[in-house]
Amino acid sequence: MKLTAGKISIITISTILLIDQILKIWIKTHMALYEKTSVLGNWFYINFVENNGMAFGMEFGGDFGKLFLSIFRIVAVSGIAYYLYSTIKKGATTGFIICLSMILAGAIGNIIDSAFYGLIFSDSPEYMPHFKQVAQFLPESGGYAGFLHGKVVDMFWFPILQGHYPGWIPFIGGSEYIFFRPVFNFADSAISVGIFIIIIFQKKFFPQADDKSTVSE
């Protein structure tokens, strides 16, 4: 039985959300804040951090900024969802629908953290080598924050290159550099990969726009 574009979109979104939330809940309930473990030598770590702001650990100022960003995410997700729906109706390519579904799922995944994690989890204690504590699910004393004020859980860290800048470089000489420094999650990955594929295959996904530009020339 051939799957319709709508069903493919639903499967893509559901799969990404399921993987994203399983990973985040496991990390939140099994690791202390800033605890990390090596997966692939010094190149790939599971490193539990939380952020109050945007993707890849970037911040966006205080409680008001957090609330504004959460509301902005909800509005943006609504716009993406409507665009995805209209794109499916117009008979867009399966690849483009999957990419949009990945972006939408990633955005929803991080909204779930912001909206509900503060309500259902206790705060995550910082890692201590000889006395590790982890967050509790549905604690009796209540969660660590209100609705839309939860923190986003991140865990993937790829410090592929590490070292120090040469001393002769102005301002940054002698300081440490790490590539890739940001810690991110599965939802961030889905958004980034979806956008990257759209950029790479834009001529295939938007053939009409390409034809119009050719005619105008």
Tell me the catalytic residues. Answer: 154, 188
CA separation for the pair 84, 140 (Å, rounded): 40
168: Cα within 13 Å, side-chain hemisphere: 0
CA separation for the pair 217, 33 (Å, rounded): 57
Q: Quick check: helix, strand or coil at residue 175?
A: coil
| Region of residue 192 (left: phi > 0; alpha: psi -120 to 50; beta: else) | alpha
Indicate the DSSP class of residue 31: S
33: β partners:
126
